[in-house]
Structure 1
Amino acid sequence: MIQRKNPLLSALLFVLITLGGFAQNEKETLKVMSYNIWNGFEWGKDTERKANCIEWIKSKKPDVVALQELCGYDEQMLKEDALKWGHQYVQLLKTEGYPTGLTSNRPVELVERKLDSFWHGMLHCKTYGIDFYVVHLSPADAKFRLREAKMIVQDIQKNQSDNYVILGDFNANSPFDAYALEKNNGLREKYRPKSDAKHSNLLNGNFDYSVIGQFLACPAVDLALNKVDMVTQGYTYPTPGLVGKYNNTDKSIVANRVRIDYIFASPNLANTCKAFNIFNQQETHGLSDHYPVMAEFGL
């Protein structure tokens, strides 16, 4: 006897299977990481550090990764690395100098690459429905950094998006960290330029908080606040990897600790931030001269 299929039952089964598939694919969190990888692992020559760094990134299972100092990289090279931590989609700012890049496990839309009037450039991409601005501001000039910050903020405000993230190596100090910085006369003297210098990381002889102030007023929220113990863990640079380089010692590394790597988010998106980490523990001491940071959002 031939049994006829019930079309209503078949349709119901199809809906249930489809919904079940969607449920399995839904993510409860979005992990966003930023990492300055230090001269592209010496332009690819330091294969051991590169392998260790890739393995470490993979272990944290980020969904989106912003990278700075992708020296010597092209887009294919970045994709080969990103595939190792599970990301199929990449965008690279440029192939010369000190590029930034973005990788994701979801499609990435390139919105804009900006190079003119920037020290290293600015990469604007969109993934997960969020506008990501990957930055690497001037490492040598406070006034130049301020101009870069104003241009980026202007772009963000012009875009009129409710969901944006600004992340990377800002090379700038936050007013929220002033309580420690203002006591650090040694670091102030280290920043003080020679009389014939063209650039200065100080502003009129003082630590400069105006750059980060621009992003806070954008408006954007510093996601580390109230999620990291700033007294004991609030630093992203330098790491012990710099000991023996540029006259650095164990003592000077500790004395010159600062927070210059950030993840900022629009107020709307910041309200969904569940956790923030500055990974400045033993396991990342030798991976770069910067420590990575990661924000976790609820979806």
Structure 2
Amino acid sequence: MTWNIKTGGRDGADTGRLDRVIRVAAEAAPDVLALQELRGFGRAGRLARLATALGLRPFLARSWRGQPVAVLVRPDWPVGAAGPVRRPFHHAAQRVTLGTSAGPLLVIGTHLQPYSGSWRLREAGWLAAALRRRPLALLAGDLNTLDPWSAHAGRLARLDAAYRRRHLRRDGTVDSRAVARLAGTGLVDLFRAVGSGDGHTAPTTGVRGPEFAAMRLDYLLASPDLARYARGCTVLRGGDAETASDHYPLLAQFELTPGTLPDHGGS
């Protein structure tokens, strides 16, 4: 599951959204959870408390410019190599290798630059390199990019010019290059492959922002070998998910079970 929880689930001193984030994530009960916008989670204790509430092991990537990201894993899944993708992301990217019944699985949780399509394209290239030559790989996160397969003129027309520019190239065409770059490496968009419905992940009904207009910005992209195990992909809506963040969580199901890792930890 991937989810941008908006500024660490906090609005100033109000932590009510974080409580709702925990309830939604606990009900979904993912084995692997990629979280973005973890403002304040670099401080001792905050990430540990969230992980304990969900029964997950946390792996955090800090950010110099933006906000941290994390990948959290259920304890019965063996973890080998884990650490940040060491490139100058606006936010960050965290990689974790898991032991599965099909072999080592590389998961990268990330959050791409919100303001510049050219910067997002550069970040997508770094991610493509990190995922290269991995038979089982999953990229999870808020890519801040419209998909290259759909028509977007109508929704972009509803945005103010300042927010519309985030999704346009200099010639005025839709900037979907970051997702196209990743798909061009063979990664499979799981919602497009095994999901149903409109797939919009932002905004929610309860935490709307002027920068959104019914957009699909959050993705689960799988290597072809991993995509064969995918059995569904769902945008989780309703209940606390409507007011926990300005993004909805995106959940995929795989027919995999915990497995062993090679002696070198799958690195």
TM-score category of the 2 structures, normalised to the smaller one: 0.7 to 0.9
Q: How many residues align?
A: 246
**1:214-233 alignment, distance < 5 Å:** 214-230=181-197, 233=198
Query: Partner residue of 1:202?
Result: 168
Query: Does residue 46 in structure 1 map to residue 14 in structure 2?
Result: yes
SS at 1:280's partner residue? coil
Structure having the higher Rg: 1
Unaligned runs of 5+ in 1: 1-32, 194-199
2:146 partner amino acid = N
Q: Equivalents in 2 of 1:189, 1:122: separation in Å?
A: 29
Cα root mean square deviation, aligned: 2.2
Query: Does residue 186 in structure 1 map to residue 151 in structure 2?
Result: no
| Residue in structure 1 matching 2:91, options 102, 115, 120 | 120
| Residue in structure 2 matching 1:84, options 43, 53, 56 | 53
Higher relative contact order (CA 8 A, sep 6+): 2
**1:145-160 alignment, distance < 5 Å:** 145-157=120-132, 160=133
Instruction: Judge conservation of contact 1:52–1:287 (CA < 8 Å) in 2.
Output: yes
- CA drift at 1:236: 0.3
SS at 1:167's partner residue? strand
Instruction: Judge conservation of contact 1:66–1:134 (CA < 8 Å) in 2.
Output: yes
2:253 partner amino acid = E
Unaligned runs of 5+ in 2: 257-267
2:182 partner amino acid = F
Instruction: Judge conservation of contact 2:58–2:70 (CA < 8 Å) in 1.
Output: yes
1:293 partner amino acid = L
Q: Equivalents in 1 of 2:63, 2:91: separation in Å?
A: 11
Instruction: Judge conservation of contact 1:221–1:267 (CA < 8 Å) in 2.
Output: yes
| Residue in structure 1 matching 2:218, options 235, 238, 261 | 261
Q: Equivalents in 1 of 2:251, 2:93: separation in Å?
A: 20
2:203 partner amino acid = P
- CA drift at 1:161: 1.4
Query: Partner residue of 1:242?
Result: 207
**Percentage of identical aligned residues:** 28
Q: Scaled by the length of structure 1, what TM-score is found?
A: 0.75
Q: Equivalents in 1 of 2:247, 2:168: separation in Å?
A: 21
Query: Partner residue of 2:119?
Result: 144
SS at 1:151's partner residue? helix
Query: Partner residue of 2:136?
Result: 163
Query: Does residue 296 in structure 1 map to residue 262 in structure 2?
Result: no
SS at 1:241's partner residue? coil
